[in-house]
């Protein structure tokens, strides 16, 4: 089986810090290569992979402001479709744009829908619903008018996440700093429970950071440490008493939630989107409705069994499990049993 893996080119694959779509494309690619699958990764030239690498740009456009994102996206997508006859399947992690090329080639197209950025892109998915294949990353992120071949949860390389049985006393916010991710709410929980808070992640909304986050830094144990790479991630996550994920949107998946639990750290999350599919209430964390419930959940997090939290991720959200599930989808499509 010959697979073309189409990754985004906003960041390197895998990303240095932020880049969830690139990260998933990387984990899947490397997992497939270990299984002996013939994979060609279409990504930035500085990407790191055991697969065959094809690139039309050396760096991601989010790392090089001189690049015109739309121009390089067009060049990137066209590269894989102009070579479509070299592959049995094109696996698209690049959102909706590649769908518009799909009827110009005979090679089957599978799209992992990592989330819907707005209602305005839905007509594209609807147009190609009958001629391509869609995978959802959670059941919560499905649209009733679209057909899906499977739900495949993201999976982590468990060897990179060490179980920490003796956590520290700090709460953790781990993710992009943006209103919908709940950084300000995490600060409020920390202040009202009298606990330290470490904030880690890229600043995606400068105004929000300046107005709602920065005034609290250096006071009452509130600390911002920036983006954290793979070399510090496990220590930071495992050392936390609990991770706060107080989102205000229906999150399609939530890699940071699973990464925290992989280290044995419970997660307190607003009960929206995919959160009930990731967190087992009262066992791996707590699903809450608001800040008040989050505050009430903080102290009882210490009663949860961290080894069991780690085991939950190992059983349901490992890289091997993700690869197994995608291989079943590939066989269904390439074997002609997918109905399209």
**What share of the chain has pLDDT > 90, as a percent?**
94
Is 39 in contact with 32 (CB distance < 8 Å)? Answer: yes
The CATH label, of 3.30.420.40, 3.30.390.10, 3.40.50.300, 3.40.50.2000, for the domain at 158-316 is: 3.40.50.2000
Strands 150-151, 242-245: pairing is: unpaired
Q: Flag whether pLDDT at 82 surpasses 90.
A: yes
**Residue 337 confidence (pLDDT):** 65
**Which pLDDT score is estimated for 320?**
97
Number of CB atoms found within 10 A of residue 207's CB: 8
- The ranges of the chain annotated as CATH 3.40.50.2000 are 2-155+318-334, 158-316
Q: What is the rounded average pLDDT for all residues in the chain?
A: 96
- Res. 130 pLDDT band, cuts 50 70 90: very high
2-155+318-334 folds as Rossmann fold (3.40.50)
For 112: left if phi > 0, alpha if psi spans -120 to 50, otherwise beta; the answer is beta
Place 18 in a pLDDT band, splitting at 50, 70 and 90. confident
Instruction: Using alpha carbons, select from 100, 102, 76 the residue that is nearest to residue 90.
Output: 102
Determine the Cα–Cα distance for residues 145 and 114; give it in Å rounded to an integer.
17
Which residues make Cβ contacts (< 8 Å) with residue 19, sequence separation at least 6?
8, 10, 11, 12, 13, 60
pLDDT of residue 251: 96
CA nearest to 154, candidates 20, 271, 287, 30: 20
Q: How far, in Å, are 4, 40, 68, 92, 116 from residue 60 at the CA level?
A: 19, 18, 10, 17, 22
Cα 247 from chain centre: 15
pLDDT (tens digit per residue) in 253-299: 999 999 999 999 999 999 999 999 999 999 999 999 999 999 999 99
Closest alpha carbon to 12 in 58, 57, 47: 47
Kind of pairing between the strands at 150-151 and 38-42: unpaired
**Distance (Å, whole) CA 216 – CA 189:** 13
The pTM of this model reads 0.93
> Please, what's the b/e burial string for 88-110 (b: 16 or more CB within 10 A of its CB; e: otherwise)?
ebbbbbbbbebbebbeebebbbb
- The Cα 9–Cα 21 span in angstroms is 10
At 162-215, the pLDDT tens digits run 999 888 999 999 999 999 999 999 999 999 999 999 999 999 999 999 999 999
Query: How many Å apart are CA 139 and CA 156, to the nearest integer?
Result: 19
Q: Does 313 score more than 90 pLDDT?
A: yes
């Amino acid at each position: 089986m010959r697979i073309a893996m189409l990754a985004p080119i906003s960041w390197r694959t895998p990303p240095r810090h932020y880049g969830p779509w690139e990260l998933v494309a990387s984990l899947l690619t490397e997992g497939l290569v270990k299984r002996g699958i013939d994979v060609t990764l279409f990504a930035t030239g500085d990407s790191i992979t055991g697969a065959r690498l094809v690139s039309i740009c050396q760096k991601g456009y989010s790392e090089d402001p001189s690049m015109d994102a739309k121009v390089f996206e067009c060049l990137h997508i066209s590269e894989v479709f102009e070579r479509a006859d070299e592959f049995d399947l094109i696996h698209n992690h690049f959102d909706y744009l590649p769908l518009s090329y799909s009827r110009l080639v005979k090679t089957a197209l599978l799209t992992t829908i990592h989330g819907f950025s707005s209602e305005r892109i839905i007509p594209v998915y609807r147009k190609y619903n009958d001629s391509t294949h869609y995978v959802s990353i959670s059941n919560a992120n499905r649209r009733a008018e679209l057909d899906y071949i499977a739900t495949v949860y993201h999976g982590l390389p468990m060897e990179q996440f060490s179980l920490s049985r003796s956590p520290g006393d700090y709460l953790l916010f781990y993710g992009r700093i943006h209103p919908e991710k709940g950084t300000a709410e995490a600060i409020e929980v920390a202040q009202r429970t009298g606990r330290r808070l470490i904030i880690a992640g890229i600043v995606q909304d400068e105004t929000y950071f300046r107005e709602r986050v920065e005034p609290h830094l250096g006071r009452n144990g509130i600390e911002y440490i920036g983006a954290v790479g793979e070399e510090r991630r496990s220590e930071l996550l495992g050392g936390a008493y609990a991770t706060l994920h107080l989102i205000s949107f229906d999150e399609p998946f939530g890699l940071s939630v699973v990464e925290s639990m992989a280290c044995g750290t419970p997660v307190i999350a607003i009960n929206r989107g995919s959160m009930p599919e990731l967190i087992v209430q009262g066992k791996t964390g707590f699903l809450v409705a608001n800040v008040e419930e989050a505050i009430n959940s903080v102290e009882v997090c210490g009663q949860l069994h961290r080894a069991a939290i780690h085991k939950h991720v190992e059983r349901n959200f490992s890289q091997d499990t993700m690869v197994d599930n995608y291989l079943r989808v590939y066989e269904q499509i390439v074997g002609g049993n997918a109905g399209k």
